Amino acid sequence: MAVRDFALPDLGEGLTESELVSWRVAIGDAVELNQIIAEVETAKALVELPSPFAGTIAQLYAEPGSTVQVGSRIAAFEVADDAASTPPETPAEGATTEGSTAAIEREPVLVGYGPPVEGGARPTRKPRVFEGGSSAEPAPVAAPASAAAPAAAAQRVEASPRSNPRSTPPVRKLARDLGIELTSLVGTGADGLITRDDVERAAAQATDARAATPSEHARETRTPIRGVRKHTAAAMVSSAFTAPHVSEFLTIDVTPTMELIEKLKRSREFSGLRVNLLTVVAKALCIAVGRTPSVNSRWDDAAQEIVEYGYVNLGIAAATPRGLVVPNVKDADRMTLAQLAAALSELVETARAGKASPADLGGGTISITNIGVFGIDAGTPILNPGEAMILAMGAVRRMPWEFRDEIALRQVMTLSVSFDHRLVDGEQGSRFLADVGAILSDPGMLLTMV
């Protein structure tokens, strides 16, 4: 024998309670399945309740005339163990735990707004497993990697930090107000998110200026930091303090190259084209890149991957009325010397005219800077942000040099490189520089390299 409870059902699509009008049976009565055992009155109708079990009445829980909540038990039956019977009660939705404390009323907002709080205790939420609320092992998220997950991952990979760094709208506004460029920051938030702290820290550093006396102030000239200079400064800071720079130098006799250039200038193929040392250096660089690809790569911190480019977008540092810009020639490695000559002269002209487009200025993979035009021999150039290698061309001087076992006046120049030691190791950087030097000191050596 088993004892089964019968709870008052919802008799009419959303009723919450009924009044027990009368019992048709008494404790101890034998009842058949569907025999009428009670009469109840709902908001809609007077209803007879048929017995859900065949058995004996063991208990009657409600008094005639009382109001019973839907889901509360009204009678208990003694039934045979294997009787086809109602399954055990499932607890009502949102039921509170046993032993509720002081009755908590939901604040009535308007008359009739909402039923009274069930059981009189404060509503509580279901415990989550990450709060240790369930003894069971948390089930692995059953959902397959939906469009959401790979899209989210793609999200982190695709966004180039340079073009649109991740932050939040309120932080962006703060950065705008403080004059901070987000592209110059490295975010410390989740997955490199730029946080409010990051912006405020950058602002504090920027305003860490020496407090000057009034007379000193009068002798100072103040120019607002904005525009290209602002961008360039931010870029340099970012580059200099992110990538570990190593610089190397190579001084070479470029007389054969200079002679070659004269010959090319007179040739039919190059008539009308500006072919000069930069052209040949650019070509040599492209060849050298082919032999040491690591110098043509990028450190993708967000994705934790090194990106090796399969193409050379060669940047040429150019001084323009607006400041220093580094426009680049796309796919320089696929160009012939003549094409390179044309592309380079056009690029430099456009940049000097201040007409370089965003497309020209973005997407560079490696750069050249010509400090020789200023009469300088060598330097320690700063990498164009996001690049692994930069080559500085020094001035060509007539200098005493070893030539055919004798001292002769030769045309000599120094090449300086800086590279990102995370991406390029010493051997690679040296080999690259040596290759460029080898081509320039003996253009015929090119035949051994391609």
Interface residues with other proteins (CB under 8 A) are 6-13, 34, 44-52, 84, 86-87, 126-130, 133-134, 136-144, 146-149, 151, 155, 158-159, 163-164, 166-169, 172, 176, 193, 358
For the bound state, the minimum distance from the C-beta of residue 155 to other proteins, rounded and expressed in Å, comes to 6
Judged by beta carbon, residue 227 or residue 426, the one nearer other proteins is 227
Judged by beta carbon, residue 144 or residue 375, the one nearer other proteins is 144
Judged by beta carbon, residue 86 or residue 232, the one nearer other proteins is 86
In single-letter form, the type of residue at position 335 comes to M
Q: Say how far apart CA 355 and CA 332 lie, in whole Å.
A: 20
Best CA proximity match to 54, nearest among 88, 82, 22: 82
Q: Say how far apart CA 217 and CA 220 lie, in whole Å.
A: 5
Contacts of residue 40, defined as CB under 8 A and 6 or more positions apart, other chains included, come to 8, 11, 18, 19, 20, 21, 46, 47, 49, 68
User: How buried is 119 (Cβ within 10 angstroms: 0-12 exposed, 13-18 middle, 19+ buried)?
Assistant: middle
Best CA proximity match to 410, nearest among 295, 230, 258: 258
For the bound state, the minimum distance from the C-beta of residue 179 to other proteins, rounded and expressed in Å, comes to 14
Is residue 368 within 8 Å of 350, Cβ to Cβ? no
In single-letter form, the type of residue at position 401 comes to W
Residue 421 falls in the annotated catalytic set: yes
Largest CA distance in the chain: 130
For the bound state, the minimum distance from the C-beta of residue 2 to other proteins, rounded and expressed in Å, comes to 16
Q: Say how far apart CA 66 and CA 22 lie, in whole Å.
A: 10
Is residue 71 within 8 Å of 90, Cβ to Cβ? no
Active-site residue identified among 217, 231, 245, 421: 421
Judged by beta carbon, residue 21 or residue 319, the one nearer other proteins is 21
For the bound state, the minimum distance from the C-beta of residue 417 to other proteins, rounded and expressed in Å, comes to 32
DSSP designation for 27: T
Judged by beta carbon, residue 37 or residue 396, the one nearer other proteins is 37
Judged by beta carbon, residue 99 or residue 169, the one nearer other proteins is 169
For the bound state, the minimum distance from the C-beta of residue 249 to other proteins, rounded and expressed in Å, comes to 39
For the bound state, the minimum distance from the C-beta of residue 228 to other proteins, rounded and expressed in Å, comes to 15
Residue appearing with tokens 């912006």: 199
E-only strand ranges, 180-274: 245-253
- Residues noted as catalytic: 421
